[in-house]
Structure 1
Amino acid sequence: MTVTTPTAPVRPTAPAEPARRKRPRVRPGRLGVHAFLMTVSLAFLAPLLLAVYASLRPYEETAEHGYFSLPRHLSFDYYKQAFSDSGMGKYFVNSLIIAVPGVLLTLFLASFVAFAVTRLQMRGGLVLLMVFTAGNLLPQQVIVTPLYVLFNKINLPYWMSDSMTMYDSYWAVLAVQVAFQVGFCVFVLANFMRTLPIELVEAARVDGAGVWTQYWRITLPLCRPALAALGTLQFTWMYNDFLWALVFISNGDKLPVTSALNNLRGQFFTDYNLLAAGSVIVALPTVLVFLLLQRHFIAGLTLGASKG
């Protein structure tokens, strides 16, 4: 006969506390880098912040106390006045007529050329890429006079231009914008397409895909981050440009929105607070485009920063 001795119940042990992670020590060099970046960021934002601050204050207040004084009265009255007095509505439309088709056409042509250079086994592809890249080195102001003479001699039908020539039409500004921006976009997209696996295009060829299918349905969707980054930059550059519109458009009703700021200048007196409000309104579309494409824009800028 065996005698069993009762055993004490086993108490559940408390789970071990997770080991606290040691915070990495902040190095003085990293603090210096962050301080430098913050200083540079504030230096770039200072003019914009000052313009926004001035646009909310009456001109009499800033004239008496200075632009860096504490505010006594803030309002959005200048924004309403700037939009109505300058007639920005039609000028916004003019800028969109130039910028939106210009961006789409530039990205389409540049992506097609970059695809041909990097994915099609064509002779002279590297030379062609160098030619497009070298086109960016030419100062644009050098060819203002030749283009002015040329556009006055190119005839267009009445439904395309009121002047019956390429001069004084949106087509002149659009053609110059696309011509000068395609080279930069080709350079960026060609470098990005080289990072894509060539096996994707080779597999598509085996399945019987043509050149257009390889470009439109396989390569182009993979270039979405690069296209978004370039689209944001191109829209900003074309939207803010005023030189080519000033040279090739003589009709004031066709000028872009940047010209609307001139309507806020008086003959004998200029309210700079009102002008600041107009400048902020003009800059809003570019800020909106950046916010909408921010995720793709940042992804496009960081392409190739890490592997794996």
Structure 2
Amino acid sequence: MSALAPPAGAPAAVRDRPAPRLRRPKPARSPWLHVAMVPVTLLWLSPIVFVLFVAIRSYDDIAGRGLGAFPASFSLDGFATALTQGGVLRSLGNSVLVTVCAVVASLALSSFAAYALSRFDIPFRRTILLTMLAGNLLPPQILLVPVSSITEAIGIGDTLTALVVVQVGFGIGFYTFVLHGFMRSLPNEVFEAARLDGAGPGGIFWRIVLPLSRPSLAALAALATTWIFNDLIWAMTVLRTEAKFPITAALLNLQGGFASAWNVVAAGALIAAVPTAIVFFLFQKQFVSGLLVGANK
């Protein structure tokens, strides 16, 4: 769109001033997208609403009127039973402990490895990166027996430490691959300016690389929290004692111990879903920005 030029007889200061450009009006947003997303949203929320209705019903209401009936009573006995008799509260603490330790250790080690592989001339660094990523392509079913035998052999079998080590070992390859791509895209001018100011490799990492990598780290933290907190296969592989089970294994036992008490099972499932939902909503903005990093490069 052409700019508006000042008249020929205008003062020099006015003629030298850049001419303003007319702003193109923003197109009106169509409401049809929101209209189309309403049934999709309702369909996505329907299982959660159904589980919520089951959790707040009493056992007598479910037994007398059926599982699919509309709630005719309101009771929190299912939540109380799941937290006390079902061991959900203890297992929830185990899951939080394992998740926090595994996420922090995984991202710390991955950031170190990604920084070294992206900024230093390491021999066969591409081979190292691809080897770390290839480990995530192996089906976990073929590794259950070897992983269980290794944890028993090194003396950490049936401990939460073993579960943390396994989660870190199987996640560090993917996290390093993602962080390597982001750190490699950082401009070299920033690193050259830091070296001229006397910063060493450690100072550059702590003061420049980590702050700039915050969106990617937040996105990976949200993903890692969801994966580790919801994991069941590795928990059943390395753990034997019921008191050390995470929330996923506890829900499996809860379903077996309270097979007919559907309100207890539904309450335990809702309790288990709360931590990951909180993490997602807290890191939602960073998660979206981290997924879009490098999209415009």
- The 5 Å alignment of 1:92-171 reads 92-154=92-154, 165-171=155-161
Change (3 A) 1:35 1:121: farther
TM-score normalised per structure 1: 0.80
Q: Which residue of 2 aligns with 1:275?
A: 265
The structure 2 residue matched to 1:207, chosen from 188, 197, 202, is: 197
The structure 1 residue matched to 2:275, chosen from 256, 267, 285, is: 285
Change (3 A) 1:25 1:212: closer
Q: What whole-Å deviation, never above 9, does each CA across 1:55-75 have from its counterpart, x for those lacking one?
A: 112243344444443332223
Q: Which residue of 1 aligns with 2:7?
A: none
- The 5 Å alignment of 1:1-308 reads 24=28, 26=30, 31=32, 40-154=40-154, 165-265=155-255, 269-306=259-296
Q: What whole-Å deviation, never above 9, does each CA across 1:50-107 have from its counterpart, x for those lacking one?
A: 2112111224334444444333222333212221212333222221221111001100
* Displacement of 1:257: 2.1
Identity of aligned residues (%): 40
Count of residues in correspondence between the two structures: 273
Instruction: Assess if the C-alpha contact under 8 Å between 2:258 and 2:265 holds in 1.
Output: no
Instruction: Assess if the C-alpha contact under 8 Å between 2:182 and 2:213 holds in 1.
Output: yes
Change (3 A) 1:173 1:268: closer
Instruction: Assess if the C-alpha contact under 8 Å between 2:54 and 2:71 holds in 1.
Output: no
Q: Which residue of 2 aligns with 1:160?
A: none
Q: Which residue of 2 aligns with 1:10?
A: none
SS of the residue aligned with 1:74? coil
Gapped regions of structure 2 (runs ≥ 5)? 1-24
Q: What whole-Å deviation, never above 9, does each CA across 1:2-28 have from its counterpart, x for those lacking one?
A: xxxxxxxxxxxxxxxxxxx686374xx
Q: Which residue of 2 aligns with 1:16?
A: none
Change (3 A) 1:168 1:277: same
* Displacement of 1:195: 2.6
Q: Which amino acid aligns with 2:203?
A: T
Change (3 A) 1:152 1:49: same
Change (3 A) 1:262 1:270: farther
- Distance in 1, matches of 2:74 and 2:188, equals 59
- Distance in 1, matches of 2:82 and 2:131, equals 44
Instruction: Assess if the C-alpha contact under 8 Å between 2:258 and 2:264 holds in 1.
Output: no
Instruction: Name which one, 1 or 2, has greater alpha-carbon Rg.
Output: 1
Q: Which amino acid aligns with 1:259?
A: A
Q: Which amino acid aligns with 2:135?
A: G
Instruction: Assess if the C-alpha contact under 8 Å between 1:264 and 1:270 holds in 2.
Output: no
Instruction: Assess if the C-alpha contact under 8 Å between 1:85 and 1:264 holds in 2.
Output: no
- Distance in 2, matches of 1:22 and 1:119, equals 43
Instruction: Assess if the C-alpha contact under 8 Å between 2:151 and 2:157 holds in 1.
Output: yes
Change (3 A) 1:65 1:127: same
- Distance in 1, matches of 2:57 and 2:84, equals 18
Change (3 A) 1:226 1:267: closer
* Displacement of 1:291: 2.2
- Distance in 2, matches of 1:215 and 1:288, equals 30
- Distance in 2, matches of 1:22 and 1:229, equals 31
Change (3 A) 1:198 1:42: farther
Q: What whole-Å deviation, never above 9, does each CA across 1:99-150 have from its counterpart, x for those lacking one?
A: 1110011001111111112222333222222112211111112111112222
